[in-house]
Structure 1
Amino acid sequence: ITEGDTMEEVLANLQDAIEGWLEVASNSYIPEPNSKIVEVTVL
């Protein structure tokens, strides 16, 4: 969940939140045997 006074601020806050989560998750992620990694772009 994120918020901001403008849509640009919301998107910047969302990007920061995603990057932070991915940084933490990448240090403890153990893939399942049949898992796939996909790239997602948020516009």
Structure 2
Amino acid sequence: MKLFTDASQKASDPDIKAFATKTLPALQHHLDMANALQAALAK
């Protein structure tokens, strides 16, 4: 997540910056779902 967050804010290449900015919300959503699943399985 940090790599994409940093790239979306600091990348000098506009294509890299745009890709990271576009992809970051989906990655965050997937991480949230994985964490929720892990928590549910731990119960």
Give the TM interval when normalised to the shorter protein.
Answer: 0.3 to 0.5
More helix, by proportion = 2
TM-score with structure 2 length normalisation? Answer: 0.47
TM-score with structure 1 length normalisation? Answer: 0.47
